[in-house]
Amino acid sequence: MFKFPNRFMSHDVYKSFIDESHFLCQLKLVFDWEELASPLWNLARNEQGGRPRTSPVVLLKMLFLCFLYNRSDREMEAMVTSDLYVKYFLGLAIDALASDHSSLSRFRDEVLETHGVTFFTNLFESILKEAPRHGIVFASVNFREPNKPV
């Protein structure tokens, strides 16, 4: 079996299968996620060597989705790996795997330690308030009550 260049194939697959009116597509376009993640870029440095970290933009988007869908880090890892709209929102190639749940947990802990819980509260609430002003409707979100099984 041969492998296609993922960047090119991903674009074509997304273009063919993604409905751009989906709220995740709209969130990707309307908000400047690079700017929203700018206070977190210092956390992306890996001064101890090793593999480069996942982009803070991708991790911030994953944490936003955890908040939006009320999912655990493990559930989010599975969701990123299997959901085409989530991959598109994150800017991942079609065959890309999610960052593992422990990377997401460590990133969240570092953000909380550095910026406090108000960073997430203020950011996520501002996105939820601003989105409807741009015509983004969250009707297709499958919210789940905390501590209730799926």
The pLDDT score that the predictor gives to residue 51 is 60
For every residue of 30-56, DSSP letters joined together read HS-HHHHTGGGGGGG--TT-SSPPPPH
What pLDDT does 90 receive?
95
**Higher per-residue confidence, 63 vs 49:** 63
CA dist 34 to 9, 13, 31, 70, 147, Å? 24, 24, 9, 23, 32
Give pTM, 2 decimals.
0.82
On the question of pLDDT at 23 being above 80, the answer is yes
